[in-house]
Amino acid sequence: MARIAFIGLGHMGGGMAPNLAKAGHDVRAFDLSADALAKAVAGGCHQAGSTEEAVKDAEAVITMLPAAQHVSAVYRDQVLGKAPASALLIDCSTIDVATARSVEEEAAAQGYMMVDAPVSGGIAAAAGGTLTFMVGGSDEAFARAQPILDPMAKAVIHAGGAGAGQAAKICNNMILGATMVATCEAFVLAQKLGLDPQVFFDISSKASGQSWSMTSYAPVPGVGPDTPADHDYEGGFAAALMLKDLKLAMEAAKAAGAYTPMGGEAEELYQRFVDRGGGSKDFSGIIKMIDDSWKVPNN
């Protein structure tokens, strides 16, 4: 079993780190939030007083941080030169491809092996150890990362070289954002045309309109499996995070010269929903804006 430093114990990292501890790894966890750190300790992790303390003598360092600026700062100021050069560095944050490649290049220049390994699956999958990891890096780095990621995963897939994991993640979430909007629009239209939501779900989930957004994450309460829609759109994947990923996708599309009108429309709609106070709601809650039942919070 390995000594693993885990930095970033938010909604995702807080579920991921305990799964490594359950698998028998020695997990040294750190987060700026005392509550998040306490939950990780309750899940079997060992508390570290700082990032530098966590990475000292680590065989692997895993980060799950909010945005590119946090990834850059943590690696440049608190990991590189502080962790042993033999440590494998694994960044599971969702950030832009250029930053991922830049950080990995800096790590390599200092003798480290590193992969970008963003995830798909949401909070429930993080806690349940059923995430999908999209990994960018060399074949050797991927071979080292896979057994470390396995206790947190249902699938660990090598996407290609440095930054390829981030590329796969933002393309995947562009699909997710756009299909969720289309699914919400279809449910609203079906209701206005007199179709019962359950009947429409039963048909579309078995017909050509089937998608993950329909079958596994229906945005209407009371149909299909239990989803955030059944809990007033609380929990799950926040609309603000979906907007972040769509912005990353649109920035990448612009840089690559790719035409992505559906992705652009999805970004615009999620921007409107977030601007109207929906950022903390699950991203499927955008149906409330589409059917015009969304009430802007007073605060």
Cite the active site residues.
169
Beta-carbon contacts of 77 under 8 Å, excluding residues fewer than 6 positions away, are none
* Run of H or E including 131: strand 131-136
What are 252-257's contacts with CB under 8 Å, separation 24+? Answer: 252/96, 252/97, 252/167, 252/170, 255/98
* CA 176/CA 171 separation, integer angstroms: 9
* CA 167/CA 183 separation, integer angstroms: 24
* CA 246/CA 266 separation, integer angstroms: 8
